[in-house]
Amino acid sequence: MTKKPIAVIALLAAACAPSLVIAQEEAAKKENHGYGGVGLALVSSNSSSDTAGDTNWTGGGLGFTGAGVFDLGAVGIGVTGAMQFGARTEQDSDQEVTDVQVAFDGGVIVAKMLYLSLGVNTLATTVDSADTGVGTDITYSKVVVPLGIGFISADDKGYFLGQIRFGGGTATEDYTDSDTDIGYFGIRLAGQTGMANGVQFMGAMELDAYDYKDIDLTENYFRLILGVAFGT
């Protein structure tokens, strides 16, 4: 009497075994990864105006990059970001300004490669009171909301991101509380490579271009960040 239930259980287990194996294989294919790095940031920028002429700036500081990839199957989720803190010096006048730049985005990853995103990019530049002529620091801020299209590849040994971003936003100046609309175009290449689930080398190149709509001015920023990172 006891052999029949045991036989039925054995048959059910045998029938379910292939399904369990397939489920385990599908779970193994889904990989989630996280990355973060810090390094030296080198910055070059220029502004161009038909009325005021051109100015060129160089500088550097500390840069941070990060990314996360979450595999949900046919469509995944991606998040990327970067921060930079530093200073730039105008090549002719030796005037110095300080910068704080923060950029991040999130979106969907299609077919484990195509990355479509929406983000926020901010840049705050402060001119010291000694150079403003008004006895106080002046901060110029830019906030843009870019759409992004590119590709991302990730595993436990690192990742690579290539992305074009475009959008618009607002530039403000805190002394007179003025603002103007700006257009934005950007290119970003970033990645890490190294030990699986360990220390990795990090590198990033960024180009940000701003076009002021109400005044005769364009600004371009190029950043190179190199450093160490961790990935999993």
SS3 8: helix
Q: In tens digits, what is the pLDDT along the chain, a chain of 232 residues? A: 445 555 544 544 455 544 444 444 444 456 899 999 999 999 999 999 988 789 999 999 999 999 999 998 889 999 999 999 999 999 998 899 999 999 999 999 999 899 999 999 999 999 998 888 888 999 999 999 999 999 999 999 999 999 999 999 999 999 999 999 999 999 999 999 999 999 999 999 999 999 999 889 999 999 999 999 999 9
* Among the listed residues 162, 67, 73, 147, the one whose alpha carbon sits nearest the alpha carbon of residue 112: 73
Give the bridge partners for 25, in sequence order: none
Q: What is the pLDDT of residue 26?
A: 45
Q: CA 100 → CA 87, 121, 139, distances in Å? A: 9, 11, 11
Residue type present at position 42: L
Q: Does domain 31-231 correspond to CATH entry 1.10.10.10?
A: no
Q: What is the pLDDT of residue 87?
A: 97
Question: What's the rounded Cα separation, in Å, for the pair 166 and 118?
Answer: 10
Domain ranges of the chain: 1-30, 31-231
Q: What is the pLDDT of residue 19?
A: 45
Question: What's the rounded Cα separation, in Å, for the pair 22 and 47?
Answer: 58
Q: What is the pLDDT of residue 28?
A: 45
Q: What is the pLDDT of residue 130?
A: 84
Residue type present at position 194: G
Q: What is the pLDDT of residue 151?
A: 96
Q: Torsions phi, psi of 213, nearest 5?
A: -80, -35
Q: What is the pLDDT of residue 73?
A: 84
pTM, 2 dp = 0.84
Q: What is the pLDDT of residue 9?
A: 47
Give the bridge partners for 81, in sequence order: 66, 104
Question: Burial, 208: exposed, middle or buried (Cβ in 10 Å; 0-12, 13-18, 19+)?
Answer: buried
Q: Which two tokens stand for residue 19?
A: 């399904």
Q: What is the pLDDT of residue 81?
A: 96
Q: Torsions phi, psi of 58, nearest 5?
A: -135, 155
Q: What is the pLDDT of residue 23?
A: 40
Q: Are 196 and 121 in contact (CB under 8 A)?
A: no
